[in-house]
Structure 1
Amino acid sequence: MAHLILLAIVYLSFISLGLPDGILGVAWPAIRADMGQPLAAVGAITITMTICSATASFFAGPIAKRMGTGAVVATSCLMTALALLGFSVAPSFGWLISLAVPLGLGAGAVDASLNHFVAAHYSSRHMNWLHGFWGVGATTGPLIMGLALASTGGWALGVRSIGLMQLTLAVVLWATLSLWAKEHSKPPTGEDAHGEVVFQPVRPLATWLAPTLFLFYVAAEMGTGLWAASILVTDRGLTQAQAGIWVSVYFGSITAGRFAVGLIANRLGNRTLVRLGIAVAALGALVFALPGVFGSAASFGLVLMGLGCAPVFPSLMHETARRFPEDVARTVIGRQMTFAYAGGSVIPAGFGLLATWAGLGAVMPVVVVILLALLALAVALDRMT
């Protein structure tokens, strides 16, 4: 029973991690109107959060080893809760930037710590479902903010509501710290005759190649999510509402795909899922990139790409605990999350420069190339480990 309770807490923690991720974009028009800020000022908040999240992820491994995963997650959840509650009463824009620091640090620490914990203690099925529950949170957060804006409560009510939900979870986490200490990892790889886990000698290159896969993958996933609507409106003639629906379907297919993949993940194995997923995602990106060949059906390439993306991130993360010994895996997972944050911010922004120089039609062919390179690197890492 304790095992199931802890698993439920882990899932709730990842829903909680996803809750704040989409609310800033929904709330920003109201926030900037209240605080008299230009449209681009949101970049100061997002850059601050990204840097802090990447930093916390990089150092989460040794911190979790010393404090314990449960204590790190509980502390980080409390930090994000207080930051969100601070957001809701912030008197000026400068306070929002300052509060983005604990919000980013807390999110990054939870992300890396929980990913390592699930990779070491649970099956590939649960890792895929874990990231599916992040999608539930990322979908629910904007809905809560939208309801708050639709009422007379304004954006502050939406942020405060999510902050109180985070605070409630923090209380639950602190009250159940003993459950984390009792959870023991099942051997992630084959055992020798003495029951000891056997790993190949660690090659330093592999400990950096594994994070590089996350840089490429997140760049492709988030770059598509960021620019798909602009491509659909500017190059394909869709309305903004229609483009928004297609982007929602894209992210929805990733979330639904992760829950579906969880049913077969243990049977197929991480490495097979990664290769199949990347291949399907590349095919979907190619279909979306070629409206001249596929016509109006090209938009369905987003759905195909989303389904292909579904198993890649969680399966790569779960396989890390099978490629490397535990202490090395902690460090590598921290690097993976740092590279993921970089891939989700720097490269999609670079796509904007590419679109300015060569047109929006150049974005998706580059995404296809990134995914093909990702497939080649994944195969190389499998051979190396």
Structure 2
Amino acid sequence: MHLALLTIIYLAFISLGLPDGVLGVAWTAMRQDLNQPLAAVGLLTITLTACSGLSTVVSGYVLQKLGTGPVVMISGFLTGLALLGFSLAPSMGWLLALSVPLGLGAGAVDAGLNHFVAAHYSSRHMNWLHGCWGIGATLGPLIMGATLATQGWQGGYQTLATMQLALAVILLLSLSLWQRENAKPPAEVHNEAQQARIKPVSMAATWLAPLGFLLYVAAEAGTGLWAASILVNSRGTSPATAGLWVSFFFGSITAGRFAVGLVANRLGNRRLIRLGLLTATLGAVVFAIPSLPAPLSLAGLVMMGLGCAPVYPSMMHETAQRFPAELTAKVIGRQVGLSYVGSAGVPAACGLLAAYAGLPMVMPALILVLLALLWVTERLNQLT
């Protein structure tokens, strides 16, 4: 029963990642069909993120009333139907309307599964859970890129909708497994909590840590959203090839997270964050140089993904080490909230930058975001 439920949870987080990298790949074709400017994708991103954030805020009350299994199941049907609606949408207005249920469903799955795994499984499974998100974020652009040439972006969204709805059916059939799962956290979770160091911290640290999440998610989401447009519009790459490249970016994040999980305890969170950010910044610099041959540009994008891999999980895991127990929950809440701000605000701002200064200016802007994150994390190390 334990293994069956854990497998379903991993599949659910894969499905959560499926739509995340797709919009950037599909947008070049979508905006032409719907007669929209390049920057209009920012409206969709903001709507999706705002609804995900709202869903996360109220998730505690909903989870208490309904339970994790039903909430995740309902959210699966909600996101699947919303993706199906995307494939049939005749105008930008419909896309905006459908972004509401898509965002609400994604936020509920995110909050519900993170809470459930944190309460019932060890930290190892939490790390691998986010690796499963990367599997979905890798498959999504790959599926969209493969279907663009033959079935258009509509076919890509139909494929993703079918996968989401199939998972929702599996979740419906597995509701009894969620009810039987032991509610007591494993011993490893208790031991880790007892080992957390209690240190006096400044108010600045309680806001610097969430700011770090804003900056990290901004860099990752900005690259995932705009890399395909940069390749297609500035470097003459075909949409299908651009989709493949974006899938490599998310794939390197995924592979890196599974690999880092094997050595994370040995290296430590702070060292992993530092090494990851330096690697990601170097990769972003390589990808930002337009005159480099395609293999080197791709290597830069992959290097950036590998560098990004340990940053988010390590920052989240380090929160309990940086702050005393009575502050940890509050700081984590701020981190999740500002993550949504970063995933919407900065990529949308990159759209405005691309519209007024050109697409080649997007990657230099994201490099500055990574450098700012490096400063924030180093300053946070000094304060805690």
Q: Same fold (TM over 0.5)?
A: yes
Matches within 5 A, 1:217-232: 217-232=216-231
Match of 1:336 in 2: 335
**Alpha-carbon distance in structure 2 between the residues aligned to 1:371 and 1:277:** 10
**Alpha-carbon distance in structure 2 between the residues aligned to 1:362 and 1:317:** 30
**Alpha-carbon distance in structure 1 between the residues aligned to 2:351 and 2:306:** 25
Instruction: Give 1:350 deviation, angstroms.
Output: 1.7
Match of 1:378 in 2: 377
Partner amino acid, structure 1, of 2:373: L
Q: Is the 8 A contact 2:25 2:239 kept in 1?
A: no
1:39 and 2:41 are equivalent in the alignment: no
Match of 1:73 in 2: 72
**Alpha-carbon distance in structure 2 between the residues aligned to 1:204 and 1:71:** 38
Match of 2:99 in 1: 100
Partner amino acid, structure 2, of 1:379: E
Distance 1:221 1:384, change over 3 A: same
Match of 2:175 in 1: 174
Q: Is the 8 A contact 2:80 2:164 kept in 1?
A: yes
Structure 2 unaligned segments of length 5 or more: list them: none
Q: Is the 8 A contact 1:288 1:299 kept in 2?
A: yes
**Alpha-carbon distance in structure 2 between the residues aligned to 1:135 and 1:72:** 22
Match of 1:114 in 2: 113
Partner amino acid, structure 2, of 1:39: Q
Match of 1:248 in 2: 247
Match of 1:352 in 2: 351
TM-score (norm 2): 0.79
Matches within 5 A, 1:137-152: 137-141=136-140, 150=150
Distance 1:351 1:187, change over 3 A: same
Structure 1 unaligned segments of length 5 or more: list them: none
Query: Residue by residue, what CA displacement relative to the aligned partner does 1:173-218 show, whole Å, maximum 9, x if unpaired?
Result: 52222244534151264637xxxx6634565544432221111011
Instruction: Give 1:14 deviation, angstroms.
Output: 0.4
Query: Residue by residue, what CA displacement relative to the aligned partner does 1:118-167 show, whole Å, maximum 9, x if unpaired?
Result: 45655554333222211222333456665699579956743541342232
Match of 1:260 in 2: 259
Q: Is the 8 A contact 2:214 2:342 kept in 1?
A: yes
Match of 1:208 in 2: 207
Partner amino acid, structure 1, of 2:334: R
Match 1:191 to one of 186, 191, 194: 194
Q: Is the 8 A contact 1:76 1:110 kept in 2?
A: yes
Match of 2:127 in 1: 128
**Alpha-carbon distance in structure 1 between the residues aligned to 2:149 and 2:372:** 43
Instruction: Give 1:277 deviation, angstroms.
Output: 0.8
Distance 1:91 1:327, change over 3 A: farther
Q: Is the 8 A contact 2:16 2:133 kept in 1?
A: yes
Partner amino acid, structure 2, of 1:167: A
Distance 1:285 1:19, change over 3 A: closer
Query: Residue by residue, what CA displacement relative to the aligned partner does 1:328-363 show, whole Å, maximum 9, x if unpaired?
Result: 545544433332222122212222333455444433
Point out the more displaced range, 70-79 or 373-382: 70-79
Instruction: Give 1:248 deviation, angstroms.
Output: 3.0
Point out the more displaced range, 22-31 or 240-249: 22-31
Q: Is the 8 A contact 1:19 1:140 kept in 2?
A: yes
**Alpha-carbon distance in structure 2 between the residues aligned to 1:288 and 1:95:** 35
Match of 1:271 in 2: 270
Distance 1:23 1:117, change over 3 A: same
Point out the more displaced range, 374-383 or 19-28: 19-28
SS at match of 2:194: coil
Distance 1:71 1:271, change over 3 A: farther
Instruction: Give 1:51 deviation, angstroms.
Output: 1.3
TM-score (norm 1): 0.78
Instruction: Give 1:53 deviation, angstroms.
Output: 0.6
Query: Residue by residue, what CA displacement relative to the aligned partner does 1:70-127 show, whole Å, maximum 9, x if unpaired?
Result: 5543443344345456667779875654443232112112213333444565555433
SS at match of 1:39: coil
Match of 2:309 in 1: 310
